[in-house]
Structure 1
């Protein structure tokens, strides 16, 4: 993903302690960042897959986050 990629929509992922990261719709599909990431992760073909990838990147046993569109 380049620095000039246009973000179309954003969903923030929340867990019990607050925000965990975010999913972004970009021209190529969907990507995500966890808090503390310096750059976006891989691009995925669908929102569902990107949300699943974000969940998989959390600590083992983490509950499914609540995603809120912003």
Structure 2
């Protein structure tokens, strides 16, 4: 038998398009900003990951819309 790990992905959209993504895997919720190769960090909950992504946008930016893919 082997274990199957299901990955889930949410894309964050701002007014001008994609600003980042959050991926769920065995480690937690990984945050990646658009245009960056390295991940911003891994967080224990989706809400914390969303807040982390939002905090790395320009000051005064609206919270992005997250859509699962």
The interval holding the TM-score normalised by the smaller chain is 0.7 to 0.9
TM-score by length of 1: 0.86
CA RMSD of aligned residues (A): 1.3
Shift of 1:26: 1.6
Structure 1 unaligned residues grouped into runs of 5+: 1-5
The 5 A counterparts of 1:26-37 are 26-37=25-36
Measure the CA separation in 1 of the matches of 2:60 and 2:6.
Answer: 30
Q: Which entry has the higher C-alpha Rg, 1 or 2?
A: 2
Structure 2 unaligned residues grouped into runs of 5+: none
Measure the CA separation in 2 of the matches of 1:33 and 1:43.
Answer: 9
- Runs of 4+ with >2 A deviation: none
TM-score by length of 2: 0.87
Contact between 1:7 and 1:24, CA under 8 Å: does it hold in 2?
no
